[in-house]
Chains A and B, each alone.
Chain A
Amino acid sequence: MKKQLGKIFTVTFLLMISIVLFLPIVFMVREAAPSDFYLLLIEKFWFYPKFWNSLLYAAGIGAGASLFALLAAFGLTKGGFRCGKAISFLLLLLMLMPLQTTLLPNYIGLRDLGLLDTRSALLLPMICSPFAIYLMCRYMEGMPDENWEAARLETGSLFQILFHVVFPQMRACAAAVFVFMFAEGFNMIEQPMYYVKQDKLKPLSIITDSMQAGEEPLIYAIGIVCMIPLLFLYGFYEEELEDGLGMLKM
């Protein structure tokens, strides 16, 4: 009886959360008029350059973060690092920090490197994502050492081991990281607001910043159009996401 009540409570709670999360989408769809889509997709010149900017950043961040995190995780877990655990703990701390706390150090770093107001200013800090490295580390820790040791007996080339042994086993996690980082890159707001000033470098996520009077209703149409690539991506990599995050839970 107690168990059943708990189940009912859980289901009700999850249902309520689902409704709360789903409501903004319903509201967005209800508010977007067909004329807004025509205005956005046909009349507005700024939409397409900004859309492709967003996609470029998201794809670059997703792919870059997957690769960077894979290499970093490989080094940390299989590289025989003495401070591997300590670095993992630091990564966890960094992951828990709000984005705003790292904005200023990143800004100073980018300024000193002369990368402010360039595409790299948006790509590089996001590619080095502690979340992606931590996720990969956790996944890689679950990988049996026998495969890796057997591969070492076969070849001395680290790259061959990486591409033929580690990559195929990490595909699910890499896909999960790609999807998460793609979504993160597609929706980033603070970074483009602080790191780039040129309008041609800004993505669609901060369009409200440069919107003219009377263009506000277009936000709903933009929201729907921007939702489509992410929905496709989630649908496409659904199995990998479940696999990657499921392994993490274990």
Chain B
Amino acid sequence: MKRKILFGLTTVFFVLMLAGTFFHQKIDSLFRIKVQLAAIETGSEYVSFLGTIDGKETELMREEQFLLLPEQAVRDNMVYVVEHVTEPYGSYDVVTLRMVQTAVTTDGKVKITAGLSESENVAAVYDDSLYDGMRIVVEGQR
């Protein structure tokens, strides 16, 4: 009888361990905050500046690249950048707080002039429940 109980308990233990091995990431994602990624648009504009050509001060133009982020993704010049962290036995996503340089806001979009690149991912909504270094689950595609 004792052996049967122990055998049953051992089986349960190993089944749980096996389940954990294969599904622990899925179980973990159930309890994580789901974050949608913001659609980052790119744009450019010509900015005039004063330069010197042949000793004469002349008004020149240069093309400046910028990014557009939804207004909800930025608060007080801060955004949550989503980063993919790879460890020896797995990978996960985290959000890191970053300061960016913003310009004017038009049509619900904030112009980002520095601090962010187009290849990076940004949380669509600057949520109070997020914090720097928090592990999250990315929902949907950018």
Partners in one complex: yes
| One of A45, A199, A200, A236 near B90 (C-beta < 8 A) | A45
Interface flag for A167 (CB, 8 Å): no
| One of B10, B24, B87, B88 near A42 (C-beta < 8 A) | B24
Instruction: Let me know if B6 and A236 touch, CB within 8 A.
Output: yes
Q: Which of under 10, 10 to 19, 20 to 34, or 35 or more describes the interface residues of B?
A: 10 to 19
B31 to A, closest residue via Cβ: A42
Contacts of B7 in A (CB 8 A): 236
Among the 9-residue stretches B13-21, B40-48, B62-70, B117-125, the one with 4 or more Cβ atoms under 8 Å from chain A is B13-21
Known: A45-B90, A48-B20, A52-B21. A236 touches B3 (CB 8 A): yes
A114 to chain B, nearest CB (A): 25
Instruction: Let me know if B6 and A232 touch, CB within 8 A.
Output: yes
| One of B2, B3, B27, B88 near A45 (C-beta < 8 A) | B88
| One of B3, B13, B88, B135 near A229 (C-beta < 8 A) | B13
Q: Binary interface profile of B, 110-142, with partner A (CB < 8 Å = 1, else 0)?
A: 000000000000000000000000010000000
A117 to chain B, nearest CB (A): 16
Instruction: Let me know if B17 and A48 touch, CB within 8 A.
Output: yes
A196 to chain B, nearest CB (A): 15
Known: A51-B17, A52-B21, A228-B13. A45 touches B87 (CB 8 A): yes
A49 to B10, CA, bound (A): 19
Interface flag for B9 (CB, 8 Å): yes
A153 to chain B, nearest CB (A): 36
Contacts of A105 in B (CB 8 A): none
Contacts of B90 in A (CB 8 A): 45
Interface flag for A79 (CB, 8 Å): no
Chain B contact residues, CB within 8 Å of chain A: 2-3, 6-7, 9-10, 13, 17, 20-21, 24-25, 27-28, 87-90, 135
A236 to B20, CA, bound (A): 24
Instruction: Let me know if B13 and A232 touch, CB within 8 A.
Output: yes
Instruction: Let me know if A45 and B10 touch, CB within 8 A.
Output: no
Interface flag for A95 (CB, 8 Å): no
Instruction: Let me know if B21 and A48 touch, CB within 8 A.
Output: yes
A142 to chain B, nearest CB (A): 26
B90 to A, closest residue via Cβ: A45
Interface flag for A68 (CB, 8 Å): no
B124 to chain A, nearest CB (A): 25
A49 to B25, CA, bound (A): 14
B134 to chain A, nearest CB (A): 12
A43 to B88, CA, bound (A): 13
Instruction: Let me know if B28 and A42 touch, CB within 8 A.
Output: yes
Q: What are 9 A-B residue pairs whose CB atoms fall within 8 Å in the complex?
A: A43-B28, A43-B135, A45-B90, A46-B89, A52-B21, A200-B88, A229-B10, A236-B3, A236-B6
A46-B88, A199-B88 known; 17 new pairs, CB 8 Å cut-off, are A41-B20, A41-B24, A42-B24, A42-B28, A45-B25, A45-B87, A45-B89, A45-B90, A49-B89, A51-B17, A52-B21, A228-B13, A229-B10, A235-B2, A236-B6, A236-B7, A236-B10
